[in-house]
């Protein structure tokens, strides 16, 4: 029994930008009924059949990302092309607090369930639609995936080094945050509903959310007239606002090994200088932030040379030990297996999947003292919870459920 165990979600989400939202709520006990199309075997969610794989087996039950994003949810099938399928969906909606989806804008409406219809069925329903450009505005029909969202919201541009193409994010950063803002919005809408009795439509546009994450950069333009697109920018390993120096990623000993070091103030610099303890650190130019910024290129060269001769974790131990933010750029295996920052936090829970066996997945990055999250259950196979949902929840008999299967409704 979790803190949200009275909450039921009629869930059409997929990929990460949607599935990641209902995953969080499921980890707190919400009953998330994930609805998939039996005709396409749920392949609308392309992650179902995509790498990573635990072994040589392939197919819709073996996508590692899909498993990660759908723990603690129920899996049912429902064919909305059929009249009976639409009737059953109406019955599920009537019993649901939330309807969540991240189809392209308008898809659920074309399936027969626009917001007005959902509200007829369930007057206080919280309907959350999540797509790249939202349901309003000239680009609402445009197609996106994570990197497009990041490009169109300013996040790709602001990640890079001078005179090079944008580096971008190297992953679908905004799929994570599309999901995270979506979870926040669902919870906020529940707070509102619990106090007022009123449901609503939450129109989540991932590009809005992305653009909202660059506030100070926008203000520098709108107040100071200084665009981010200007020579020498972006320069995102240095501090954007000249508040810290040194502040960079430096090569460490070994192949493709790196450290990141930031001196927040002159005191940090003095501690760093004591660790490095070479003649150059006593250059009086470096004593003040203004001096270090003016000589940043030299400073980067000299500190870089010091780092290049050292193991990245040795640098981390020496600098952290001295109270200076200076750490290894960790590879996945290092931060997942050997870092007490994650392992002692219990960040990688295990689930048992019917076909794939024991799997580790992402946990949630917080603990609640009394009603903490729990991730123990892998998602069921396609349609694996049909009997539970159509039987226990909707009250259909085993024979009726068999008929639905035979007729291709589920």
Partner 1 sequence: MATTGPHGSPEPPPAPAADALGPLTGLRVVELAHEATEFAGRMLADFGAEVILVEPPGGARQRTYGPFVDDVPDPERSLWFWHYNTNKFGVVLDLDVAADRETFAGLAATADVVLEGETPGRLAALGIDEPDLRAANPGLVWTSVTPFGRTNPRALEPMTDLTLLANAGPVWSCGYDDHTIPPVRGGGNQGFQTAGIHAATATLVAVLHRDATGRGQHVDVSMHAANNVTTEFATYGWLVAGETVQRQTCRHAAARPTQFTMSTDKDGRFCPTGVPPRAAKEFRTLIDWIDDRGWRDDFPAIAFLELGEERGGVNFADIATDPLVGEIFGAGRDALIFIASRLTSYEFFLEGQTRGLALPVIYSPEEVVEDPHFRARGFAVEQHHPGIDRTVTYAGAPVTMDASPWRWQRHAPTLGEHQHLVDGPARPQSS
CB of 81 to partner 1, least distance (A): 14
- 56: Cβ–Cβ under 8 A, 6 or more apart, which residues? none
- For partner 1, the closer CB: 148 or 401: 148
Q: What is the crossing angle of helices 19-27 and 173-196, to 10°?
A: 60
Strand blocks (E) in 236-299: 247-251, 258-262
Q: How far is the CB of 105 from partner 1 (least distance, A)?
A: 5
CB contact at 8 A, 362 and 68: yes
Strand 200-205 to strand 247-251: parallel, antiparallel, or no bridges (unpaired)? unpaired
- Output the smallest distance, CB 125 to partner 1, in A: 11
Q: Which is nearer to partner 1, 246 or 410 (CB)?
A: 246
Catalytic sites, residue numbers: 238
d(Cα 388, Cα 336) in Å, to the nearest integer?
A: 36
Minimum CB distance to partner 1 smaller for 326 or for 383: 326
Closer of 279 and 370 to partner 1 (Cβ): 370
Smallest separation, CB 394 to partner 1 (Å): 26
Shortest distance (Å) from residue 219 CB to partner 1 = 4
Q: What whole-number distance in Å separates Cα of residue 189 and Cα of residue 279? A: 60
Residues in the chain: 410
Neighbours of 163 (CB within 10 A): 8
Q: Closer CB to partner 1, residue 5 or residue 397?
A: 5
The residue (of 282 and 346) whose beta carbon lies closer to partner 1 is 346
CA dist list (Å): 80 to 61, 90, 390:
22, 11, 15
Q: Report CA-CA distances (Å) from 119 to 80, 171, 249, 269.
A: 18, 36, 52, 60
Shortest distance, CB of residue 375 to partner 1, whole angstroms?
11
DSSP string, 74-122: EEEE--TTSHHHHHHHHHHHHT-SEEEE-SSTTHHHHTT--HHHHHHH-
């Amino acid at each position: 029994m979790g803190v949200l165990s009275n909450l039921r979600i009629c869930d059409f989400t997929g990929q990460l930008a949607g599935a990641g939202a209902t995953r969080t709520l499921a980890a707190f006990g919400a009953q998330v009924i994930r609805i998939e199309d039996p005709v396409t075997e749920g392949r609308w969610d392309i992650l179902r059949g995509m790498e990573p794989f635990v072994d040589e087996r392939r197919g819709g039950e073996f996508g590692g990302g899909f498993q990660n994003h759908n723990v603690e949810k129920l899996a049912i099938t429902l064919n909305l092309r059929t009249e009976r399928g639409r009737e059953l969906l109406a019955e599920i909606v009537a019993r649901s607090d939330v309807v969540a989806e991240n189809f392209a804008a308008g898809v659920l409406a074309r399936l027969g369930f626009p917001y007005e219809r959902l509200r007829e069925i369930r007057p206080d329903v919280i309907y959350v639609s999540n797509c790249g450009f939202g349901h309003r505005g000239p680009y609402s029909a445009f197609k996106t995936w994570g990197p497009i969202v990041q490009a169109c919201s300013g996040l790709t541009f602001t990640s890079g080094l001078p005179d090079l193409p944008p580096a971008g994010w190297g992953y679908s950063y905004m799929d994570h945050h599309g999901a995270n803002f979506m979870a926040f919005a669902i919870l906020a809408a529940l707070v509102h509903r619990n106090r007022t009795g009123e449901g609503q439509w939450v129109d989540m546009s991932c590009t809005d959310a992305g653009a909202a994450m660059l506030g100070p950069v926008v203000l520098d333009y709108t107040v100071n007239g200084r665009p981010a697109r200007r020579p020498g920018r972006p320069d995102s390993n240095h501090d954007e606002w000249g508040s810290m120096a040194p502040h960079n990623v430096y090569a460490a000993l070994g192949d493709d090994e790196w450290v990141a070091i930031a001196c927040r103030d002159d005191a940090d610099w003095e501690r760093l200088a004591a660790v490095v303890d070479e003649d150059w650190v006593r250059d009086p130019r470096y004593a003040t932030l203004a001096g270090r910024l003016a000589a940043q290129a030299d400073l980067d060269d000299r500190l870089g040379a010091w780092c290049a001769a050292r193991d990245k974790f040795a640098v981390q131990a020496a600098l952290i030990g001295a109270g200076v933010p200076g750490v290894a750029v960790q590879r996945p295996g290092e931060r997942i297996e050997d870092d007490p920052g994650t392992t002692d936090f219990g960040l990688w829970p295990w689930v048992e999947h019917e076909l794939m066996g024991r799997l580790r997945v992402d946990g949630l990055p917080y603990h609640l003292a009394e009603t903490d999250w729990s991730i123990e259950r892998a998602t069921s196979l396609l349609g694996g919870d049909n009997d539970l949902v159509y039987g226990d929840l909707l009250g259909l008999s085993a024979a009726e459920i068999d008929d639905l299967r035979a007729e291709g409704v589920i």
